[in-house]
Amino acid sequence: MSDTAADGIGSAIPGRYGAGSAHLVLAETTIAAAWNVQGEPMRPLFIEEVQRLFDVSLPTAPNTTMRSDALTAFWLGPRSWLLVAGVPSSALGGFSDFAPKRDSLNAIGAALFDLSASRVAYTLTDTHAAAVLASGCPLDLHPRTFPAGACAQSVFGHVNALVYKSDETPSFTVMVARSFARDVWQALCVAAAQYGYDVKPRMPFR
């Protein structure tokens, strides 16, 4: 048995792990819906329809986000955004809500794709969170270059990831494909072990 396995490093069971005394917190973040909307931001009709359907303004500056009470909109590219909600709502619900919204966007030459089942997210909180992420992610996470509300597509280890900073605690969320969830969680825990960390129960994305 490896030392990390013997010490419980990599376990998702809530508890204290690692040797350090830091207040670092790791948790899986549950996603109720993750929908990719694509369209032309220079078309007022597209922007108005997204606002009507989801009650959120799409961010137009690269690597930024916009939040509403129900969801967060992530800029992925000049004509692509990811809408994420931690709990179902009238803005982002189940497939019964998805289909009519997809059809409404298709009618104006835009598109909507449901990625909910394919994404897993983990949140890291505390002053050491950036250092843990830096162990596998090449992004410059200094507060001057990656402030609260920033997001960026990058990698963590060998896995494509969407990295999001929700506040200046700091708290970071890493979204990856579900097929790589175990690898990413294990790597985060191994990197966090030197500081000591707490695994908390799953919590909805915010």
At 53 the three-state DSSP class reads helix
Residue 22: the pLDDT is 82
Report the C-alpha dihedral over residues 166, 16, 192, 72, rounded to 10 degrees.
-20
pTM: 0.91
CA atoms lying within 13 Å on the CB side of residue 164: 25
What total number of domains does the chain contain?
2
**Domain boundaries, position 141:** 3-30+118-200
pLDDT, residue 5, reads: 42
Domain end among 90, 117, 144: 117
User: Which CATH number belongs to the domain containing residue 49 in this structure?
Assistant: 3.30.70.1520
128 and 102 fall within a common domain: no
Q: How confident is the model at residue 1 (pLDDT cuts 50, 70, 90)?
A: very low
Indicate the DSSP class of residue 103. H
On whether both 133 and 102 belong to a single domain, the answer is no
Together in a domain, 182 and 82: no
Model pLDDT, residue 90: 63
Q: How far is CA 148 from CA 67, 132, 141, 143, 169, in A?
A: 12, 17, 10, 8, 9
Domain co-membership, 25 together with 61: no
Q: How many CB atoms lie within 10 A of CB 140?
A: 11
Last residue of a domain, one of 117, 147, 178: 117
Total Cβ atoms within 10 A of residue 38: 16
Coil, helix or strand at residue 51: helix
pLDDT in tens, 27-57: 999 999 999 999 999 999 999 999 999 999 9
Please check whether residues 39 and 88 belong to one and the same domain.
Answer: yes
Cβ(146)–Cβ(152) below 8 Å: yes
pLDDT for residue 87: 86
Q: Where among 85, 117, 149 does a domain terminate? A: 117
Strand partners, 156: 159
